[in-house]
Amino acid sequence: MGEQPDRRAPHEQLADRLRAKIVDGQFREDERIPSVRSLAASEGLAPGTVQQAINQLKREGLVITARGQGTKVVSGAMAMAVARTPPDPLLPVVERLDELEARVRTLEAWVDRG
């Protein structure tokens, strides 16, 4: 019998894969991770989906993003990722807000073109 397909949202699956790379040391502390565009291309996902995964890791305190400097793994991120503290009860609400923000940006761009 084969494995069950992962039914979680693609950004949650990607966040898990990125978190695992932090734990494994593939993404080292104080070093940049690949760009959103690069990850989108290598993972076969939309940039917005990749951004949602990165936002999830930012909320967990594993990475930080600075405009023009990319996303960097924070010091101590490996220990935090390994510890996997229980998620904040507001995390689903914050994730939904991120999704809605992305939709609003898409609609605004559409209206601006019109």
Q: What is the pLDDT of residues 19-68, one digit of tens each?
A: 989 888 899 988 999 999 999 999 999 999 999 999 999 998 889 988 88
Separation CA 109–CA 114 (nearest Å): 9
Q: Full-prediction pTM beyond 0.75?
A: no
The CATH number of the domain covering residues in 10-85:
1.10.10.10
Q: What percent of the chain is modeled with pLDDT above 90?
A: 42
> Residue 31 and residue 70: Cα distance in Å, rounded?
10
Percent helix, strand, coil in the chain (nearest 5)?
Answer: 60, 10, 35
Q: Count the neighbouring beta carbons within 10 Å of the beta carbon of residue 19.
A: 22
Say what angle helices 10-24 and 47-59 make with each other, to 10 degrees.
60
Predicted local distance difference test score (pLDDT) of residue 85: 47
Q: Beta-strand (E) ranges in the chain?
A: 63-66, 70-73
- Residue 73: name the closest of 84, 60, 63, 59 by CA: 63
Other Cβ atoms within 10 Å of 98 Cβ, number: 17
Please give the Cα distance from 49 to 105 (Å, whole number). Answer: 14
